[in-house]
Amino acid sequence: MLIQFTVGNWMSFRDRANFFKAINFAKQFMTRSPLPDRPISIEPFLLHPDYATRPVLFHFELLVGDDIYELEFALISSKVIEERLVKIFSSNEKILYHRIEGRPDPQLHTSITSKLLLFAFEGTRDNQLFLTNSVSQNIPIFQNVFQWFDETLVLVAPDTRFDALEHLVSGERALFETMNAILPTLDTGICRLDGKDVSLDSLVFSDELGQKIKEDARSTMTITFNNKDEKIIVTRQEAVS
């Protein structure tokens, strides 16, 4: 899978959280259009006043199967200003459609003769992508691009925790040594992951939380909970009286 993503006038991309927000917005806007007459929930670049009213531009280059596409769309809070889908070949490219605000048709490529697409275009709302509406009308021409956003593009937020991580860092796990052998080669700055077993009595938390853990342990072998900035997994190793 290949994706090249660029964005203009969204907001500062100095941190991963904002980059995630931008891609997640594009995915949601593609696959779940706003309700009729609802504004598009875009956020302009806030550090320069000239950008407050400029359109937000998204540009994707993506590999879908063996085909390369270029998708671009520009938005303001009330409507889509421009939208374009291009199929890229080794020696040339084909603009499949080009939608521009104020033009009465989507400028379909001559190889596309579907009259249903023209009906879909007429029914596309100002706050909706033409590609999204054509798929919702069961027109399959652009279905593969839509499915890439809907199914292939899986986003993991910067603050997302991998729930199984604490179990994988146990030396008893088959993947433990393999994971730590590969990790230094990924240029993450992390050389090794490891864990250690500690007794429940050595942890510091409130009496109320401690009592809840003991009660839950009567019916559950493994308990996961947050204690301030720590995530703790308690595994019951013997029966609780």
- Model pLDDT, residue 3: 45
Does residue 90 carry a pLDDT above 70? yes
Q: Where are the alpha helices (DSSP H) in 39-175?
A: 115-122, 130-136, 143-147, 165-168
- Model pLDDT, residue 193: 77
In angstroms, the Cα distances linking 144 to 68, 135, 158 are 11, 10, 28
- Model pLDDT, residue 127: 94
Smallest Cα–Cα separation from 9: which of 54, 39, 61? Answer: 54
Is the pLDDT higher at 87 or at 206?
87
- Going by pLDDT thresholds of 50, 70 and 90, the confidence category of residue 8 is very low
How far apart are the C-alpha atoms of 187 and 197, rounded to whole Å?
28
Q: What is the mean pLDDT of residues 113-119?
A: 90
- Going by pLDDT thresholds of 50, 70 and 90, the confidence category of residue 226 is low
The DSSP letter of residue 124 is -
- Model pLDDT, residue 207: 75
Residue-wise pLDDT tens digits, 17-57: 677 888 889 999 999 888 888 999 887 666 667 777 788 88
- Model pLDDT, residue 62: 92
The β-bridge partners of 85 are: 71, 97
Is the pLDDT higher at 225 or at 99?
99
Q: What is the mean pLDDT of residues 83-89?
A: 96
- Going by pLDDT thresholds of 50, 70 and 90, the confidence category of residue 212 is confident
Which two tokens mark 60?
A: 């994707």
- Model pLDDT, residue 237: 64
- Sorted by where each begins, the domain ranges of the chain are 3-152, 165-235
- Model pLDDT, residue 169: 62
- Model pLDDT, residue 6: 47
